[in-house]
Structure 1
C-alpha cells in the first residue's frame, strides 16, 4: 500500500472517530435544542440512505418512497393505542415486515419495467396509502392518531442514532462489501449482461427494493412515538419524497456517503434559513440554485469533494498547471 493511500485511510479513520465520538457523547454536552436538531438530522440521513438504495444502487426512481415511512409510523401508532398496548420496540419489526410485504407486492410486477413506469407505480402506491389512511377508522382518518407521551429527548436520540447507524452499516456491508452489492450494480449498469452471467435480476431488484422499504418503516415508527401525533399530511406527504431526492442528488447519488452529506447539509441549511428569514422561501431558492450548480459542476454530488476523490484530484490537476504557468510568465 502506497504512502498517500495509507495517509488517506488514516485521515478517514480519524474523521470517523471524531464523528463517532461526537455522536456518542452528544447527550452529555449538547442542549435540548441541539439534541433534537441532531435527532432530525439522523432521521433525514437515514431516509436519504434508504432512497439511495433503490435509486443510486438499483437504478430505479421512486416517487412514493415516503409511503414506507408512513406505514411504519401508522403500525407503531396503531399497536401502541390504549386498547392494544404493545411495547414500542415490539412495534418496529412489525412495521418493517408490513413495509417489506407491500414493497414486494408493488415491486414484483413493476420492477420488471424500466423508465417512468416504476416511478408512476410508486407514486400511485403512496397516494393510495395516503387515501387509505385518510378514510380508514383504524388510522384515525384525517384526524390522525395520538400516541403515548414520552418526554425524553435523549431516549429518542439514541433510538434514531441506532436506527440510522444500523441502516448505514447494513447498506455499507450489503452494497459495498458483498456479492449482493456487485449484483445490484451489475443489474443497474447492464441488465441483459447481468442476466447473461447468471444473475437473477428480478430477485436482486426486489431484494434491494425491500431493503429500501424496511429502513424508512423503522424510522417512521421511531418518529411517530417521538412526535406523539401523526396524520396523513405529516407522515404520508409526497413532498417529503422530493426532499429525499434533492438530498441524495446533492450529496452524491450511488455513493454510500452521499446521503449522509446531503441530508446533513440540507437539513441544517433549512433550519438556519427558517431562523434567519422566518419561512422556507429562501431555503427553496437556495436548494434550486444548489441543484443547478451540482448538476453543472459536480454531477457526482458533494461527495466528489471529499479528500482522495477522483473529481477533486482532477480539479487540483486543473488548477496547479495554471498556477505554475502564471508564476513562470511573471
Structure 2
C-alpha cells in the first residue's frame, strides 16, 4: 500500500509541478518583457490551445481531421456577428454561443464522417471545411468576401494575453482530467483497436462523436477571442486551410496523444517561426528552414519532442548501469604473489 501511495504521489507531483512552473512563468512574463514579446506569447497561447484541441481527435482518437479550421472560424464569426450594431452582445457572452454552434456542427458532420477511416475521413473533413468557407464567402450576414469588423474596443494587449493564456491553461487542465478519465481511456481504446473496444461493450460511435464535439467546441472559443483581438475577420483570415495545417504540425512535432505535446510543439514552432521571419523575412529560405526543422524532428523523434525526456532518462540509466564496480582498472599482479613464484 505504501509503495502504491508513493507512486501515486510521484505521479501527481510529476503532473502538477510542470503546470505550476508554467503558470508562474506566464503570470510574471509581462513584468519583465516588452509589449512585443507579450504579443508573441499571446500567439503562442492561442496556437497551443488550437493544437491541443485538435490533439483530442487526432492524437487520442486517432482520426486525422483536416477540417478543424471550420470550428475556429465558426467561433470567430459567432463573436463578430453577435457584436454587430443592432445586436450588441457582450463579448464574453458570445464565446459559449460559438462553442455550442461549433459543437452542434461537429455533431451533425461527425455522425456520417466518423464512420470513415484514414484518408477518407481526412478528405471528408477537409471538403466540409472548404464548403463552409465558400458558404461564408457567399452569404450576406457574414459580410461575404469583405468580412466583418468587431466593434472598436479599448482593451490593451495584456487583456488578450490574459484571455488566451487563461484559456490555454484551462484547456490544459481539462485535457489532464480527460487523459486520466474513464472517457479518455475509452477514446484511446477506440484508437488502439476499435473492434476490440466494441467487443468490450464500448459504444465506439458515441465515444468518437463525443471526442469530435469536444475537440470542436474548444477552438471555437479561441476563434471568438481572436476575432475580438484582431478586430476584423474574413474567410481568408479565419477559415484558411493552413490554420488546420499548423494545428496538425504543432501537435505532430510536440507529440501526438500526449498532454504536453501540442503546447511544446506550438511553443517551439511559433517562437522559431517568429525568429526566422524577423531575420530572414517571409522568403523561400525561411520556409525551407522550417521544413528542414520539421523533417529532422519527424525522422529522429517519431514520438515528438516529448520523447526527448524518456530518451534522456534511458540514456542516464544506461550510463549508470555501465558504471559497475568490477569495471575498475586492473591493478596488476599482487607483488607478494609474484615474489613467491620467483
- Do they superpose with TM above 0.5? yes
Partners of 1:126 and 1:91 in 2: how far apart?
A: 22
Aligned residue in 2 for 1:314: 314
Partners of 1:78 and 1:293 in 2: how far apart?
A: 43
Q: Tell whether 2:305 aligns with 1:302.
A: yes
Partners of 2:8 and 2:282 in 1: how far apart?
A: 45
Aligned residue in 2 for 1:165: 169
Query: Any idea what the Cα deviations from partners look like across 1:73-106, whole Å, max 9, x if unmatched?
Result: 0010000001210000110011001100110111
Partners of 1:71 and 1:209 in 2: how far apart?
A: 15
Q: Tell whether 2:199 aligns with 1:196.
A: yes
CA contact (8 A) 1:41 1:267 kept: yes
Partners of 2:138 and 2:272 in 1: how far apart?
A: 36
* Aligned residues between the structures: 325
Q: Tell whether 2:167 aligns with 1:153.
A: no
CA contact (8 A) 1:270 1:280 kept: no
Paired residues for 1:108-257 under 5 Å? 108-151=111-154, 152-174=156-178, 176-257=179-260
Partners of 2:61 and 2:329 in 1: how far apart?
A: 49
CA contact (8 A) 2:142 2:148 kept: yes
Partners of 1:97 and 1:193 in 2: how far apart?
A: 32
Return closer, same or farther for 1:227/1:328 CA change in 2, 3 Å cut-off: farther
Question: Aligned Cα RMSD in Å?
Answer: 2.5
Query: Any idea what the Cα deviations from partners look like across 1:167-193, whole Å, max 9, x if unmatched?
Result: 11111111x111000000001100111
Please list every run of 5 or more consecutive structure 1 residues that lacks an aligned counterpart in the other structure.
Answer: none
CA contact (8 A) 1:273 1:282 kept: no
Query: Any idea what the Cα deviations from partners look like across 1:119-147, whole Å, max 9, x if unmatched?
Result: 11110111011101111111111110011
Please list every run of 5 or more consecutive structure 2 residues that lacks an aligned counterpart in the other structure.
Answer: 331-342
Which structure has the larger Rg?
2
Comparing 85-94 and 31-40, the one that deviates more:
31-40
TM-score, normalised to structure 1, is 0.91
Partners of 1:237 and 1:323 in 2: how far apart?
A: 55
Displacement after TM superposition at 1:17 (Å) = 2.6
Q: Tell whether 2:47 aligns with 1:26.
A: no
Q: Tell whether 2:292 aligns with 1:289.
A: yes
TM-score, normalised to structure 2, is 0.88
Partners of 1:67 and 1:327 in 2: how far apart?
A: 64
1:63 aligned counterpart, secondary structure:
coil
Displacement after TM superposition at 1:36 (Å) = 1.0
Partners of 2:79 and 2:260 in 1: how far apart?
A: 29
Return closer, same or farther for 1:239/1:327 CA change in 2, 3 Å cut-off: farther
Return closer, same or farther for 1:265/1:200 CA change in 2, 3 Å cut-off: same
Return closer, same or farther for 1:319/1:279 CA change in 2, 3 Å cut-off: farther
Return closer, same or farther for 1:170/1:9 CA change in 2, 3 Å cut-off: closer
CA contact (8 A) 2:61 2:187 kept: yes
Query: Any idea what the Cα deviations from partners look like across 1:270-294, whole Å, max 9, x if unmatched?
Result: 0000111122533422332222222
Return closer, same or farther for 1:319/1:136 CA change in 2, 3 Å cut-off: farther
Q: Tell whether 2:282 aligns with 1:276.
A: no
